[in-house]
Amino acid sequence: MITTSVALLALLLKLAGFVFLFAAALGVLRFADPLQRMHASTKAGTIGAGLMIAGAALASRSAGALVIGALAILFLIFTVPVAGHLLGRAIYLCRAPLQGLEGQDALAGVLPRTESETSVNPINKTIKKEDK
């Protein structure tokens, strides 16, 4: 009875992780600008990967796998937000085209935005060198 319920819980965790990872992949494909894509991949990707790791660790039914799974989840929780922050900062600094922003730029006097050597054409997503 307990092994069946543990196996069912592991399966449910893996399925929930799959749903979150699928949502992250769909967000990366469908969102318009780099900040929106980054948001989808970091938030849903972290939760999805954490649930998949938890399900796999629980399905293995060993203490070592549970410890390694918990450490992997902690590693994800601590590193993915930092990587997302650095990517967002780089996107802002290189003046990537952003959609849906209204109002004042809160970082206008804080971070210097330099002109990028490349620009992304939002229609066909190609990268072309700018003429100087």
How confident is residue 92, by pLDDT bands cut at 50, 70 and 90? confident
Q: Is the pLDDT of residue 126 over 90?
A: no
Percentage of the chain modeled with pLDDT above 70 = 82
DSSP output for 46-82: HHHHHHHHHHHHHHHT-HHHHHHHHHHHHHHHHHHHH
Phi, then psi, of 89 in degrees rounded to 5: -65, -40
First-to-last alpha carbon distance for the chain, in angstroms, is: 71
The predicted model scores a pTM of 0.74
User: 88: buried, middle or exposed (CB in 10 Å: 19+, 13-18, 0-12)?
Assistant: middle
Mean pLDDT in residue range 25-34: 91
